[in-house]
Structure formats: structure tokens, C-alpha cells
């Protein structure tokens, strides 16, 4: 009898100093709850009313250039602005506030609305990575934190199907990276090795949670994963920030991203929704500090659980007590690992061509 698949148990997340309840037997329960609308599969390549398409007018009246690669512009409705006033320092200890300043940018990956990262050419994905590096270098010269993130799919709150991400830079270290910074620092001080560098070495040896890997990168369903098909993307060598990647590592990153995201899409044969983002050593005033405890990594948090229309809900016990998952990370990794490397849309297109040729 396998402990992982037959009995509930707790797993420790060293990046957040928290625990996750794994209850694999719950996958056997019938589902009669909410069913989501499947992701839209037929997106027009160009929509004259889409504010992210080349040559179109955005809400603020600005006209997009006829871009043919990546395109970055200031968010028309930013959550952070560089000139916000300070709330002052005379405050009650139970009613504290601080200044929040920063900038928010939107980055389009491609001029076409009907492609996503796994369907883009490798050299096009490399250009996305190069632009990420450029933005971290530019904004990180001033701001302590630069958060690159992508919300993909309406299920993850994305209001526009055009392939894009966002970049928010802030004058403060947000909650998640602040906790991660503390946990990585404590591990480094105790063990003399970066937490995630040690973890990547261990996962590469154990193999059971590895989904895709290369000479430079490793993508695993983390041992402590909360979301069903959660992913942790790690470099194999010690890297602090995106700006520290070599040209060869960026090329390899583009390849492993395409492979990983192709498997995501192939799981339920839909454009797989997720929220993802990069975490690296803090920037701005922290650039001169010793950040040896940090290791660059990307998080992928996809909500789908049983099918293209049934997602995990983070409610009830998870909100009030402890994060909980049904499918074990090992089961999730095996499912993804065994999927083909050819995208289902590419396969369908090839099958259609064969049918045309033989009819």
C-alpha cells in the first residue's frame, strides 16, 4: 500500500514555511459541483476591437504600433503609480499603512491573437525572454521588486485572449517574495547551500516529480504543490535573477517552456489556463547586498483538476485552516510526463493535411 496514494498526510513547503494536506483518496468522490465553460478555441488572429492588437486604439486613446514581435506599453489602468502620496507616519499600531509606489506595464508576446507560448516558434519565445530580462534590468535598477506574471485564460481572470503578460515594479517587497526571501535565507544559513539549488539536485536524482528537463533547466511538480498540476521551473546552476542567464540558457529556457506548456495543453486538449510568474533575488537597493541564498525560479499555478471544465476551488478549509490537494504531486507529474511533446493542435493540423492528401 502506497502512503502517497492511499492515506492522507501533510507535506512541508520550505519556500513558505507552511504545510499542505494531501488527500489522494478524495479523487474517487463523484463530482456534481460547478462545471466551467471550456476555454475558447477559435480566437481570431486579428480583431479590430481588441485593444492589444497591432494598430488598434486602446482605452486611453493611444494607438498601438504595427508591432511584429513583442510590444511593451504602460498599463492604461495601473494598480501602482510612481507619484502616489505617502500616508504619513503618525499611525495607530492596529491601523498601519505605508507608501506604495511603482509602475505597471503590459507586454504582448506576439502580434497574433490566436497563438500562445507553446504554439509560438522557439525564436519568438526567446524574444519574450529577452524582453523580460530587459524589463528586469530597466525597472530593477530602481525598484526593489519587479514581478513578471501571466494570467492565461478567462478562468484565471484574464480579460483579453491576446497573448500577453504584465510587469509590476514596486518600492516594497510584496508578501510572497518576502516570505520566500526569509525561508531561503534561513535555509542557506543553516545548510550553506541555496534551498532551491539543493532541491533541484534532489529532484533530478529522484525523477518521480520531474515533468521535463534539459541540461540547463528542470520542471517539476513540487513535493509541496497545492494546485493540481502546479509547476516549479528551476535552473540547474546557481542563478540569482533573469538578468544573470546566459544566451544559451535563455535559448534552452524557451525550449523547455514550449515543452512544458505543450504538455499542459495536451492534458485536456484545451488552451490550459494558469497564473505564472518569476521570482528572483530582490533588486534596486538590494543589488549591492549578498543574495547568495536566492535561486531564480518560476511558479505555474493551473486551476484545472478533473477535466477542461472542472477546476480546484481554494475555499472553506483552505481559506480558514490549511491548503489541501487531492491528486498527489507524483500522480500529476506522471500524467504530464507521459503526454506527447507534439501539441494537439499541430497533430490535428497534420491529420487534416493527411486526410486532404488522401481524399
Confidence of residue 3 (pLDDT cuts 50, 70, 90): low
Inform me whether the pLDDT recorded for 243 exceeds 90: yes
pLDDT in tens, 92-119: 889 889 999 999 999 999 999 999 999 9
Q: What is the DSSP letter of 293?
A: T
pLDDT in tens, 37-54: 666 778 999 999 999 999
Inform me whether the pLDDT recorded for 276 exceeds 70: yes
What was the pLDDT predicted at 1? Answer: 44
Q: Considering only CA atoms, which of 169, 183, 194, 166 is closest in space to residue 282? A: 169
The Cα 336–Cα 299 span in angstroms is 16
* 23 contacts 326 by C-beta, under 8 angstroms: yes
Residue with the larger pLDDT of the pair 174 and 157: 174
Return the percentage of the chain with pLDDT > 70, whole number: 94
Residue with the larger pLDDT of the pair 48 and 36: 48
What was the pLDDT predicted at 29? Answer: 56
The Cα 327–Cα 4 span in angstroms is 10
When the pLDDT of each residue in the chain is averaged and rounded to a whole number, the result is 93
Inform me whether the pLDDT recorded for 180 exceeds 50: yes
Distances (CA, A) of 306 to 116, 259, 268: 23, 22, 9
The Cα 134–Cα 126 span in angstroms is 12
**Pairing state of beta strands 231-235 and 217-220?**
antiparallel
Q: What is the DSSP letter of 14?
A: T
Neighbour-count burial of 191, counting CB atoms closer than 10 A to its CB (0-12 exposed, 13-18 middle, 19+ buried): exposed
Per-residue buried b or exposed e for 46-80, using 16+ beta carbons within 10 Å of the residue's own CB: ebeebbbbbebeeeeeeebeeeeebbbbeeeeeeb
Dihedral in degrees, nearest 10, Cα atoms 247, 253, 259, 263: -160
Return the percentage of the chain with pLDDT > 90, whole number: 81
Cell numbers at residue 220, please?
517539476
pTM of the entire predicted model:
0.94
The Cα 51–Cα 159 span in angstroms is 11
What was the pLDDT predicted at 36? Answer: 67
**Edge-to-edge strand list for the sheet holding 71-74:** 71-74, 102-108, 164-170, 145-152, 274-279, 297-301, 231-235, 217-220, 210-213
Q: 164, 297, 299, 343: which one is catalytic?
A: 164
The Cα 117–Cα 103 span in angstroms is 25
| DSSP E strand boundaries for the chain | 9-13, 18-22, 71-74, 102-108, 145-152, 164-170, 210-213, 217-220, 231-235, 274-279, 297-301, 304-307, 310-311, 323-325
| Residue set of the binding site | 26-29, 59, 75-76, 151, 157-159, 166, 312-313, 317-318, 324
Domain ranges of the chain: 42-83+96-357
Cell numbers at residue 54, please?
497591432
CATH number listed for the domain at residues 42-83+96-357: 3.30.428.10
pLDDT in tens, 280-323: 999 999 999 999 999 999 999 999 998 888 889 899 999 999 99
Residue with the larger pLDDT of the pair 20 and 34: 20
* 336 contacts 229 by C-beta, under 8 angstroms: yes
* 243 contacts 278 by C-beta, under 8 angstroms: no
Q: Is 164 a catalytic residue?
A: yes
Inform me whether the pLDDT recorded for 343 exceeds 70: yes
| Residue set of the binding site for UDP-alpha-D-glucose | 26-29, 59, 75-76, 151, 157-159, 166, 312-313, 317-318, 324
Lowest-confidence pick of 37-51, 129-143, 337-351: 37-51
The Cα 133–Cα 136 span in angstroms is 5
Cell numbers at residue 228, please?
493540481
Amino acid at each position: 500500500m502506497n502512503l502517497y496514494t492511499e492515506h492522507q498526510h501533510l507535506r512541508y513547503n520550505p519556500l513558505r514555511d507552511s504545510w499542505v494536506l494531501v488527500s489522494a483518496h478524495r479523487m474517487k468522490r463523484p463530482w456534481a459541483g460547478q462545471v466551467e465553460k471550456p476555454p475558447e478555441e477559435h480566437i481570431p488572429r486579428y480583431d479590430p476591437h481588441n485593444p492589444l492588437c497591432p494598430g488598434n486604439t486602446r482605452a486611453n486613446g493611444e494607438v498601438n504600433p504595427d508591432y511584429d514581435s513583442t510590444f511593451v506599453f504602460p498599463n492604461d489602468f495601473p494598480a501602482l503609480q510612481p507619484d502616489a502620496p505617502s500616508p504619513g507616519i503618525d499611525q495607530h499600531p492596529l491601523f498601519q499603512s505605508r507608501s506604495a509606489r511603482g509602475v505597471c506595464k503590459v507586454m504582448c508576446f506576439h502580434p497574433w491573437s490566436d497563438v500562445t507560448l507553446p504554439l509560438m516558434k522557439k525564436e519568438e519565445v526567446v524574444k519574450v525572454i529577452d524582453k523580460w530580462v530587459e524589463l528586469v534590468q530597466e525597472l530593477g535598477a530602481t525598484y526593489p521588486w519587479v514581478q513578471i506574471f501571466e494570467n492565461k485564460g478567462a478562468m484565471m481572470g484574464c480579460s483579453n485572449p491576446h497573448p500577453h503578460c504584465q510587469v509590476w515594479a514596486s518600492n516594497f517587497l510584496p508578501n510572497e517574495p518576502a516570505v520566500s526571501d526569509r525561508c531561503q535565507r534561513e535555509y542557506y544559513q543553516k545548510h550553506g547551500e541555496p534551498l532551491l539549488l539543493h532541491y533541484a539536485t534532489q529532484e533530478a536524482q529522484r525523477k518521480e516529480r520531474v515533468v521535463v528537463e534539459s541540461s540547463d533547466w528542470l520542471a517539476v511538480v513540487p513535493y509541496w504543490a497545492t494546485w493540481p498540476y502546479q509547476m516549479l521551473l528551476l535552473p540547474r546552476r546557481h542563478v540569482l535573477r533573469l538578468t544573470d542567464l546566459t544566451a544559451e540558457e535563455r535559448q534552452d529556457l524557451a525550449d523547455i517552456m514550449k515543452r512544458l506548456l505543450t504538455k499542459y495543453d495536451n492534458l485536456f486538449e484545451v488552451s490550459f489556463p494558469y497564473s505564472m510568474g518569476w521570482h528572483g533575488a530582490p533588486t534596486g537597493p538590494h543589488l549591492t547586498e549578498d543574495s547568495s541564498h536566492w535561486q531564480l525560479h518560476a511558479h505555474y499555478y493551473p486551476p484545472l483538476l478533473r477535466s477542461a471544465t472542472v477546476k480546484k476551488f481554494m475555499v472553506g478549509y483552505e481559506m480558514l485552516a490549511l491548503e489541501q490537494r487531492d491528486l498527489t504531486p507524483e500522480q500529476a507529474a506522471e500524467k504530464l510526463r507521459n503526454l506527447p511533446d507534439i501539441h494537439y493542435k499541430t497533430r490535428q493540423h497534420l491529420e487534416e493535411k493527411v486526410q486532404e492528401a488522401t481524399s
